[in-house]
């Protein structure tokens, strides 16, 4: 592989996860992102209380993301080899943690509804 292109990355992820699961994950991520942007625009600020609660779920999201990737790829922690494997594992955990925090914050904001103005 001489160049890393978007098409190459998409092909690799489709191979790893399967075409249906990969595009389902992309669609879910897009919906959550749009909902998060909607909440930010609607509320015009981040709620510290909701943000703290969302952060408390980050370790759960990190562990769930690692376990999900290991389940999909039929591998385990014993299959981790060199440093690149650890870097990828930490990246998956980080993305799972951040994604879970965004999901939890968005869900809390949508369930609670629009906050009242403090003016």
Domain assignment of residue 96, yes or no:
yes
Domain assignment of residue 61, yes or no:
yes
Predicted pLDDT at 67: 94
In total, how many domains does the chain have? 1
Predicted pLDDT at 84: 87
How much is the average pLDDT of 9-34? 93
Would you say 72 and 17 are in contact if contact means Cβ atoms under 8 Å apart?
yes
- The larger pLDDT score, comparing residue 31 to residue 117, is at 31
pLDDT band at 56 (very low <50, low <70, confident <90, very high): very high
Lowest average pLDDT, out of 29-33, 60-64, 68-72, goes to 68-72
Residue 97 and residue 95: Cα distance in Å, rounded? 5
Residues whose CB falls within 8 Å of the CB of residue 25, separated by 6 or more in sequence, listed in order: 17
Domain assignment of residue 118, yes or no:
no
Domain assignment of residue 117, yes or no:
no
The pTM score is: 0.82
DSSP 8-state symbol, 27: H
Got the DSSP string for 47-73?
A: -HHHHHHHHHTHHHHHHHHHHHHHHHT
Range of the structural domain that residue 77 is part of:
6-112
Domain assignment of residue 79, yes or no:
yes
């Amino acid at each position: 592989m001489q160049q890393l292109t978007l098409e190459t990355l998409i092909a690799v992820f489709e191979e790893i996860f399967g075409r249906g699961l990969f595009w389902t994950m992309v669609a879910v991520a897009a919906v959550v992102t749009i909902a998060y942007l909607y909440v930010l625009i609607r509320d015009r600020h981040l709620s510290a209380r909701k943000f703290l609660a969302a952060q408390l779920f980050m370790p759960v999201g990190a562990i769930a993301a690692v376990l999900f990737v290991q389940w999909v790829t039929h591998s385990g922690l014993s299959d981790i080899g060199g440093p690149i494997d650890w870097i990828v594992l930490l990246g998956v955990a980080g993305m799972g943690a951040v994604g879970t925090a965004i999901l939890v914050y968005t869900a809390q904001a949508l369930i609670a509804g629009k906050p009242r103005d403090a003016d």
